[in-house]
């Protein structure tokens, strides 16, 4: 339907991967031939397996969003072994293989690391032996459901060609699974996940969770009226150290952002171009949501009427989108205003004290009255002897 086709563009992204410098030449071939992800129907119509109404309902009713990240690329057997030792907490946490076998023995971990490292030994230079990923859900989610959903997503995405290991961690409020995938597959193709691949992992993870009774969704941030927040894992870990008090040194990225925001607050700079683009995209998304609400109101289904009301309530809470530079600018503006108020507060007492200490100017004589002012006497001439 035209309604669902129009709405699909606001709910799911259309990726345009890099062509130059991209080692995966299949993207370039798909762009030229118009096949694969660049087929004409992908940009305008949703796949038959996606229920656009259900996705919209989960977005406006604020269903939990799944998180999938690439945390690193391990090069060589020693690097892989150190990573497996970390996710296994030195044998305290069970590591599971693709076949469901449990591993806690360090000797078995070392053997797997050697096997994965040897597969790339024939390549010149240092090659990636494994790719580490993290799958996480919100607080209160059943950890076992998270683990089984990650296994289903991994089997669906890479299990037929790549070996993998996984470990469930429950040491934080958010249950999460560390998935480590062997870089070289059975057909010698390399596992090198890009933005589109990560989004497909998110969709597979969310779908597997929903099949286990856990409400979850995978949509871009702009679909939910949120600004871009993607940062590197290294920066995320450094910020976590600062918040925990383990470090007091702010990151270079945060310092640069604060300086740029201060220059804008003082009227000596401009917001980055992507901020205006993000706001324009949110306006386009809002218009699609409003059109969807009007279409749902005309439906004969009461559930559609309820969904239309939820869509309008969702839009009312988000009149505009706020990006990270917007938050930094708001903080910088607050600091500039506070500094000006402090300066004004210091100047007023000084002005009052100066007024109190100022000497009284001499009064002018009134007309018809003269003051008795003594006439100064000139010294007489000096006599010579």
pLDDT tens column, 152-184: 999 999 988 999 999 999 988 999 999 999 998
Domain hosting 126: range is 65-216
Task: Please tell me the predicted confidence (pLDDT) of residue 313.
Answer: 95
Task: Please tell me the predicted confidence (pLDDT) of residue 314.
Answer: 93
Q: Counting beta carbons within 10 angstroms of the beta carbon of residue 254, is it exposed (0 to 12), middle (13 to 18) or buried (19 or more)? A: middle
CATH number at residue 78: 3.30.930.30
Of the candidates 149, 158, 166, the one whose C-alpha atom is nearest the C-alpha of residue 204 is: 149
Local structure of 385: helix, strand or coil: coil
User: Is 130 domain-assigned?
Assistant: yes
User: Is 292 domain-assigned?
Assistant: no
Task: Please tell me the predicted confidence (pLDDT) of residue 329.
Answer: 64
Structurally, the chain folds into a number of domains equal to 1
Token pair for 266: 């003082």
Task: Please tell me the predicted confidence (pLDDT) of residue 42.
Answer: 41
User: Is 13 domain-assigned?
Assistant: no
Residue with tokens 């007492």: 349
User: Is 300 domain-assigned?
Assistant: no
Contact 133, 68 (CB under 8 A): yes
Residue numbers of the chain with a pLDDT score lower than 50: 41-45, 48, 385
Q: CA dist 344 to 265, 348, 349, Å?
A: 18, 6, 9
Task: Please tell me the predicted confidence (pLDDT) of residue 226.
Answer: 79
Task: Please tell me the predicted confidence (pLDDT) of residue 44.
Answer: 44
Task: For 217-266, write each residue's pLDDT tens digit.
Answer: 999 888 888 776 555 555 566 656 666 666 666 666 666 666 666 666 66
Token pair for 146: 């998270």
How many other C-beta atoms are found inside a 10 Å radius of the C-beta of residue 78?
14
Sort residue 100 into left (φ over 0), alpha (ψ -120 to 50) or beta: left
User: Is 384 domain-assigned?
Assistant: no
User: Is 380 domain-assigned?
Assistant: no
Q: Is the C-alpha dihedral spanning 370, 371, 374, 375 positive or negative?
A: negative
User: Is 184 domain-assigned?
Assistant: yes
Contact 119, 184 (CB under 8 A): yes
User: Is 151 domain-assigned?
Assistant: yes
């Amino acid at each position: 339907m035209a309604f669902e086709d129009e709405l699909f563009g606001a709910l799911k992204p259309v990726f345009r991967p890099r062509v130059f410098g991209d080692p995966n030449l299949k993207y370039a071939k798909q762009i030229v031939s118009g096949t694969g992800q660049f087929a004409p129907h992908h940009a305008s119509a949703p796949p038959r397996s996606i229920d656009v109404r259900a996705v919209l309902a989960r977005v406006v009713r604020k269903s939990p969003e799944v998180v999938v990240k690439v945390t690193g690329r391990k090069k060589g057997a020693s690097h892989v072994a150190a990573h497996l030792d970390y996710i296994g907490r030195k044998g305290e946490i069970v590591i599971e293989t693709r076949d469901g076998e449990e591993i806690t023995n360090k000797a078995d971990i070392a053997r797997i690391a050697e096997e994965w490292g040897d597969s790339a030994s024939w390549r010149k230079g240092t090659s990636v032996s494994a790719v580490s990923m993290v799958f996480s859900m919100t607080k209160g989610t059943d950890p076992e459901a998270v683990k089984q959903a990650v296994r289903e997503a991994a089997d669906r995405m890479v299990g037929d060609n790549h070996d993998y290991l996984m470990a469930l961690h429950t040491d934080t409020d958010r249950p999460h699974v560390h998935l480590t995938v062997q870089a070289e597959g059975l057909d010698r193709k390399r596992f090198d996940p890009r933005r589109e691949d990560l989004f497909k992992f998110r969709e597979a993870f969310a779908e597997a969770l929903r099949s286990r009774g856990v409400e979850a969704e995978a949509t871009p941030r702009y679909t939910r009226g949120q600004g871009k927040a993607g940062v590197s894992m290294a920066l995320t870990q450094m910020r976590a150290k600062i918040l925990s008090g383990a470090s007091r040194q702010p990151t270079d990225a945060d310092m640069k952002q604060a300086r740029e925001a201060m220059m804008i607050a003082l009227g000596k700079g401009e917001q980055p171009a992507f901020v205006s683009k993000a706001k324009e995209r949110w306006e386009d998304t809002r218009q699609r949501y409003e059109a969807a609400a009007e279409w749902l109101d005309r439906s004969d289904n009461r559930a559609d009427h309820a969904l239309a009301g939820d869509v309008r309530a969702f839009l009312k809470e988000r009149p505009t989108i706020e990006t990270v530079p917007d938050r930094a600018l708001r903080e910088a503006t607050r600091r500039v205003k506070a500094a000006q108020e402090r300066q004004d507060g210091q100047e007023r007492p000084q002005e009052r004290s100066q007024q109190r200490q100022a000497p009284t100017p001499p009064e002018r004589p009134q007309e018809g009255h003269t003051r008795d002012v003594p006439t100064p006497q000139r010294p007489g001439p000096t006599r010579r002897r």
